[in-house]
Structure 1
Amino acid sequence: KQAKGGWDKKVGAHERVEGIELISSVSLVDQAPIGRSPRSNPVTYLKAFDPIRQLFASTKEAKVRGLTASHFSFNVSGGRCDVCEGEGVIRVEMQFLADVFVPCDECEGARFKPDVLDVTYRGRRVDQVLDMTVHEALSFFNNSPKILRRLRVLDEIGLSYLRLGQPATTLSGGEAQRIKIASHLTGQGSDRTLYILDEPTTGLHFDDIAKLLGAFKKLLDVGHTLLVIEHNLDVVKTADWVIDLGPEGGHEGGRLVAAGTPEQVAQVQESYTGQHLRDVLGSGRSNAYAT
C-alpha cells in the first residue's frame, strides 16, 4: 500500500515485495462498523437508497407536494423528523451503563415528517420500504435494475434477512464485514485490488459460508486477489495457496510451517492445518514447502 502511495506509516521488516505491479490498490475488509450512527445502514452504505429516493420523488403525490429526492433522505434536514434528526430513535445516556436507544415520540420511529410519509410508491411509504428485508425488497423492486443490482449482492452473500434500514449500531462484526464485501462487488471497476479479510466466516452458518465463497469467486473472476486469514476448513480447502504459520500460537508460533496448495500442505506432518486438511481432502501431492 505504501508503494501505491496510500500508506505513510512504518512498514514491517521485509526483504522485498514482488508483484506490486499486478495490483492497483490494497483494501482491508475488516469487521469494524460501517457507521456509528443509527442513520448508517445497509441500503445507504451500498448507495441503493439514492435510486429509491428518486422513485419516491417521481411519484405524482411527491410532485404535487413539491417534494424532491432530498426530502426522502434522513441525512439532511427538510423531510426528516426534526426531533430525532432522521434516526428514528433517541439516545438515552445511562451514565455508567451502555447508552439506550428508545423510539422517537415525534415520528414514532418512522424517521420522517408526516407530509413525506403521506407519499407512497407501489402502496408503501418510505419508512415501510426501509423496514423491508433484502429478500422482500428484491421482489418489490423487481422492475428497478439499478436497485436490484445492489441489493442482489446482499442476498448472494447470505444477508437476505437484513432490513434495508437496519441501523449499523445493531449489526454484528461479521455482518458489517460482508456488507463491505457487497459494496466492493457492486462497485467493480477495471482496477485490480488486493483484498485482505480477517476471519470472514465468523458467526456464519454452513450455507452462508457457501454463499460467501461464491462472493469471493466473483471478486477473483474479475481479476482481484484475496488474502484471507481463516481457520475454517471450508474456506482453506478452496484456496489457491495456503500459508500455515505456527507451529503453536503466540510466542510459540510465528514461523512458516508449510506453504502450498491445500493438497500439498495436507502432506506436511508438522502442520496442524495440514493434519485437518488430510481429513477433508485425503492424500495429495507431497512437495509443499516446509521448515
Structure 2
Amino acid sequence: MAESAFIRVRGAKEHNLKNVDVDIPRGQLVVMTGLSGSGKSSLAFDTIYAEGQRRYVESLSAYARQFLELMQKPDVESIEGLSPAISIEQKTTSRNPRSTVGTVTEIYDYMRLLWARAGIPYSPATGLPIESQTVSQMVDRTMALEDGTRLYLLAPMVRGRKGEFRKEFAELLKNGFQRVKVNGEFHELEDPPKLDKKFKHDIDVVVDRVVVRAGMEQRLAESFETALGLAQGIAVAEYADIAPGETEPKRITFSANFACPVSGFSIPEIEPRLFSFNNPFGACPTCDGLGEQLKIDPALIVPDKDLDLLNGAIAPWAKSSSPYQTQTLQALSAHYRFDLGKPWNKLPE
C-alpha cells in the first residue's frame, strides 16, 4: 500500500503506552480492543485524536484560535498521515432515536450535500448507474460515434411481460411505425409475429434507422423524442452491424428519468432531502427513518402454551387485577365461540 494509506504512529508514550509504534490503515473501519488498562483510549483519544485536533486548530487563523481550546501535544515522537479528527464519547447524549453520530458531530448535513451533488446512484437490481439524460445529451453521445456507423433507434416498449400484444401491434401500425424487434428478431408490423401469451416477451419499436453523419442532429432529436414518449423515458441506439467476435449487436441505452435502463428501478431527482431520515421525503417508508420496527413477538406474549386464558396464558395480563382483560376475553370467547378454559395449544387457529 502507498505511504499515505496509513496513519503511522512512532514512539507513543502517553499515559501507560510504552513507546508504541503502530501503522493504522486509512479508509477502513479499525477497532482497537484489549483488556482494561491496556492503553486503548490512550492511543485512540489521547494520542491520535489529540494530535489530529491540535494540528487542525493550529491551521486556523489567530482570531479563530482564540475561541477554541488548544489541546496539549501528546507524548509521541511522530504521527504521519493524520486528518482532522472527530471524537465521540462512549455515552448516550440523547434518548432521541434520531440522534446519531452524524447528527451529534454535525457532519450529517455535509454528507447529505456531498451525496446529493457528487454521488452516483446505482440500481440495486442490476448494479448499473442510474442516470438522467437530456435529448441534447443523447444526440451528442450518438454524434460522437464514428461517421458511417449504422444504427437502429429503438423504443423498448415491452420488457419481460407476458401477452400476445396484438392490440399494441395494431396501434403502432396505425401510428405510422413499420417494424418491431420482438425477442431479438425484426418483424414487419403489417405481418406481426403471433406471440404465446404464456411466455414473457421483449418488444422494441423501430423508430428510425440512421447512418451517423454530420448535420443530422435535428433528425436524431426528433427520433429520440418519439422513442422516449413510447417507452416511458427510455431509448436505445442499437448497432445495425455485429462486431467481430460478438454474438449480439452493441446497444447504447439512454434514459430521461433517474432510472435503471434495464430493470426500470427509479428514484426521484437527487437532492439533499432525499438522504434525510428526518424528512418524510427521504425516510425509509418501512421504519420511518428509525432503522428498527416495533413488532409483537407471539412467543413472548404466550410463553407457556399449556396455560389457558383464564390462568395467565397471556403473559402481559397475567398479573393484572383489572377486570378489563377478563371482560375482553369473555367477549372474544362469546363472539368466536371458544372455551377460555382450554390450554392455549388446544385452541383452534
Same-fold call, TM > 0.5? no
Q: Which one has a larger percent helix, Structure 1 or Structure 2?
A: 1
Q: TM-score, normalised by structure 1?
A: 0.25
Q: TM-score, normalised by structure 2?
A: 0.22
| Structure with larger RCO (C-alpha < 8 A, sep 6+) | 1
* Greater Rg over alpha carbons, structure: 2
